[in-house]
Amino acid sequence: MKRQNNTDINEQLAHAKILPLLLRLTIPTTVAQLVNALYSIVDRMYIGRMPGVGTMALSGLGLTFPIIMLITAFSSLIGMGGAPLASIRMGAGDKEGAQRYLGNAFSLLLIIGAVLTVVCTIWRDPMLLAFGASENTLPYASDYLGIYLLGTVFVQLSLGLNAFINAQGYAGMGMITVIIGAVLNVVLDPIFIYVFDMGIAGAAVATVISQFVSAAWVVGFLCSKKPRLTITLRDMRLDWGIIKSSCALGVSTFTFMLNESIVVIVLNRLLRHYGGTLGDLHIASMAILSSVGQIFFMPLKGIIQGAQPIISYNMGARNYPRIRETVHYARVCSITCAVVMWAAMVFLPQHIALAFTPDRELISLTTITMRLMYSTVFVLGLQMVNQNAFIAMGNTRYSFFFGILRKVILLLPLAFILPFFTGVWGIYAAEAISNLITVVVTHVVFTKYLRQLKLEFGC
């Protein structure tokens, strides 16, 4: 791969034409995000097709999703909080300050990974039971999670530090970081699950090995002389000011992912309650829907990550026209992707479900639930850009509020209320209704914020 000069990267962020630059940064990150989704999705595809036990094993795997999302959320708290601030510092010409954000992130990710490994291992089975596990699904969930947790530190480093690679404009290198682990996981899954006859535990082993390789790659790159920002012992000394500002900005993305975790826990318990004898089947269907949702959000996250260094750099340089133009093109790309994904989920749900399970009853149920739950998801193309632009511009207040609006403030109350009138189907409908309300509120506030920013920068 051709090495980019650091001065050239800064010049591009400051002066290159926005659309070609956005596409150049977005395409690698989008590919990386889609490939990254393969970590858990491929596991579910293979596990759902295990002879005789596939449906129950898939339900058990779905119960581990909240804990896995929690682990991922902590990596985003540090990475997605510190990386934009490092970009803003670079845009303002403060390389030394940017370096400290990277060094502190490395230290924090190591500490958080170790703590999460111990805590989640100790409370593994009690958490799974609280999340809705039954005597049929607990053994599968516990076996998978017990091994997965051994790779917690690797998850923190690979995901959290990769944000700093993308923030410097090395989108191609960031893509390679993700692809290496994901492709390895795809190759190892069938070997450990079927060839070594390890079942669901084999899927976890394959995932941990893949995460280790990704972490080694990203740390190796950031310790080399290639990037502008590198990991050094001097910058790893924890600084409370840097920790506070990184966490304050990253709390939006952290909250978004934590919301996903909380929502899955609540929805699984509600599905068990209102689903009656089909409770485990509904949880298996929700596991498929969660996987499909991951695929849906990955292109949108790729677009957002591609736009982030441009917005953050020009926020530091106080260049409003480039910020506004970047947001415009990011919206066009994001809305287009969202509509395409929505069409697939609404018009081809049975084909999508078939990729995860051969169980005809589960496919039939998922065909209905997918159309209902994702009927309005196309509006999130606009909402995701608006919400995450607040993060890129360093606005902690709005980024946090919109991080909790859709899932916590709207979806959860609706999920409790609607089943009283529509039964189990109201749980799925709650997602569709919350999408519509969120996009309107976010867009109104973001438009007003841009007007204020224009006046502040004197444009």
Give me the pLDDT at residue 335, please: 94
User: At residue 310, does pLDDT exceed 70?
Assistant: yes
Give me the pLDDT at residue 7, please: 55
Q: What residue numbers bound the domain in which 120 lies?
A: 16-456
Q: Specify if 219 maps to a domain.
A: yes
Q: Specify if 336 maps to a domain.
A: yes
User: At residue 347, does pLDDT exceed 50?
Assistant: yes
Please name the residue that has the structure tokens 């224009």: 454
Average pLDDT over residues 400-405: 82
- How far is Cα 18 from Cα 345, in angstroms, rounded to an integer? 31
Q: Specify if 322 maps to a domain.
A: yes
Going by pLDDT thresholds of 50, 70 and 90, the confidence category of residue 3 is very low
Domain count, the chain: 1
Average pLDDT over residues 127-133: 85
Average pLDDT over residues 310-334: 90
Q: Which of 84, 81, 76, 250 is nearest to 167 (CA)?
A: 84
Going by pLDDT thresholds of 50, 70 and 90, the confidence category of residue 8 is low
Q: Which two tokens stand for residue 34?
A: 């889609």
- How far is Cα 312 from Cα 83, in angstroms, rounded to an integer? 9
pTM over cut 0.85 = no
User: At residue 6, does pLDDT exceed 70?
Assistant: no
Q: Specify if 2 maps to a domain.
A: no
Q: Specify if 277 maps to a domain.
A: yes
Q: Specify if 9 maps to a domain.
A: no
pLDDT digits (tens, 9 = 90+) for 348-361: 999 999 988 888 99
CA terminus-to-terminus distance, the chain: 39
Q: What own/partner pairs with CB < 8 Å and gap ≥ 24 does 314-317 have? A: 314/13, 314/14, 314/91, 315/88, 315/91, 315/392, 315/393, 315/394, 316/87, 316/88, 316/89, 316/90, 316/91, 316/92, 317/14, 317/91, 317/92
Average pLDDT over residues 247-264: 80
- How far is Cα 240 from Cα 244, in angstroms, rounded to an integer? 6
Q: Specify if 7 maps to a domain.
A: no
Q: Specify if 191 maps to a domain.
A: yes
